Structure 1
């Protein structure tokens, strides 16, 4: 399905990470992958990379660091001539951003920068290496609602989803697609950092028509791999829900 393709994959931190399973499935389908990490997590990502079918290179990328972004295309050139796609699996909000009325702009701006603006920043930084027909895929948590406890991270995800649509508009003429996968709650490192996130886990299984396993990131990873492939050549600006059908039913 992906033979001969090369993908840049962010967000591989633990074996439970959705991004880890995207990388694994991509390799199993014939692709080469390049991972990113930064700072103290570089060592962790490099260790987890060894658990993939083939150990990929890991390059440093902090999506809030202009120097990292400005040099990304050149540094990718050490490992590949061209990219066929990018997975954005990045999100962060300071603890203060999870108290909506009391949150400071400093906390909110950090959440929006890392979790929304970074989609544009990453896509533009990788664009010089992306061939026509490439795909940008991001991971979101459906921002159509005001969720319990999600607060300013929910606002950041709304901005993230809007950013994807604008990228679809501006990258389309360059032959690059941009789509998102809206996943149900998964027990990842990012989820554990959100106070009270277990509220989602308890309700999702009850309400999702197909049921939902919060420990299984593979269905979400498969959707990402499908969108990275050539099987959706005319789809862009889309949000594909992989949530057991939760989004489709009322209370």
Structure 2
């Protein structure tokens, strides 16, 4: 019996097989979960194709976290594709975006409109997605998001780095407020991986070079399985008293200096 046997999980933001979210979806199914995926716009058809490459084809719902109607109707639309009578046991927030204008150098020169997009999509959406799913939660639920260690300032990451710092704070506030309702909220801080998100960052090769030389356990920029396993573990009952936490899955890079 898998550690997610009988559970239903929404994984938001799946785009390609190279994504952490896809790895989490695959492992979750292998561990017994019913998985529902989401994306929107042009990425929706990609998500639907990807859903067929899982061990069992997953249902897909459309979700644009900047669309208030999508958020307002999410619970009802999930009920239509979830097993009859099932509750939603877990949510994976694999959503992040910043315009190119908000990344790279020139941090103080970035216009608010570009920074605001990064915060709305990458930060505020953790709270809005969790709130949209709350009608489906039972006595217990686990929300897991993805971050890139925001305790330091990275080259070229720009306002996405600031948005990730705010995401980490958001997860703690959600953990504080929703804990009495049995909802755990945690983040996985993965090292650099060659996902679509990382490829969109100008100069991201600098991260790969740093991890190659400094990560104590070594690091593969193409292996999303360690991060996927961490997400599934946090979705499970194996961390019943853990919330507001950031689990680093980065080969130990965060723990060492020069």
> What is the TM-score normalised by the length of structure 1?
0.99
Q: Report the equivalent of 2:224.
A: 217
The corresponding residue for 1:103 is: 110
Deviation of the 1:38 alpha carbon = 0.4
Corresponding residue of 1:33: 35
SS at match of 2:89: strand
Over residues 25-68 of structure 1, what are the superposed CA-to-partner deviations in whole Å (9 max), with x where a residue is unaligned? 00001110000010111111101111000001100000111000
Distance (Å, rounded) in 2 between the aligned partners of 1:249 and 1:133: 36
User: 1:131, CA displacement in angstroms?
Assistant: 1.4
Equivalent of 2:236 in 229, 234, 237: 229
Corresponding pairs, count? 251
Residue among 96, 99, 102 paired with 1:91: 96
Q: Secondary structure at the match of 2:50?
A: helix
Alignment partner of 1:225: what SS? Answer: helix
Work out the CA distance in 1 between the residues paired with 2:176 and 2:108: 34
Q: Alpha-carbon deviations, 1:82-127, whole Å to 9, x = none?
A: 1000000000000110141221100000000000000000000001
Q: CA RMSD in A?
A: 0.7
Structure 2: tracts of 5 or more residues without a match:
none
Aligned partners of 1:133 and 1:233 also within 8 Å: no
- Kept after mapping to 2: 8 A contact 1:85/1:228: yes
SS of structure 1 residue aligned to 2:227: helix
1:68 to 51, 67, 70: 70
Q: Is 1:177 paired with 2:192?
A: no
C-alpha separation in 2, matches of 1:176 and 1:18: 22
Residues 179, 237 of structure 1: 8 Å contact kept: yes
Deviations 1:148-181 (A, max 9, x none): 1111100000000000000001110110100000
Specify the SS of the correspondent of 1:153: helix
**3-state DSSP of counterpart to 1:108:** helix
- Spell out structure 1 runs of 4+ moving beyond 2 A: none
- SS of 2:138's partner is strand
Contact 1:133–1:230 under 8 Å retained in 2: no
TM (normalized to structure 2)? 0.96
**SS of residue paired to 2:66:** coil
Q: Distance in 1 between matches of 2:108 and 2:183?
A: 39
* Matching residue of 1:188: 195
- Cα displacement (A) at 1:12: 1.1
DSSP 3-state at the match of 1:119: helix
In the alignment, which residue of structure 1 is the partner of 2:16? 14
- Counterpart-to-counterpart distance in 2, 1:135 and 1:3: 15
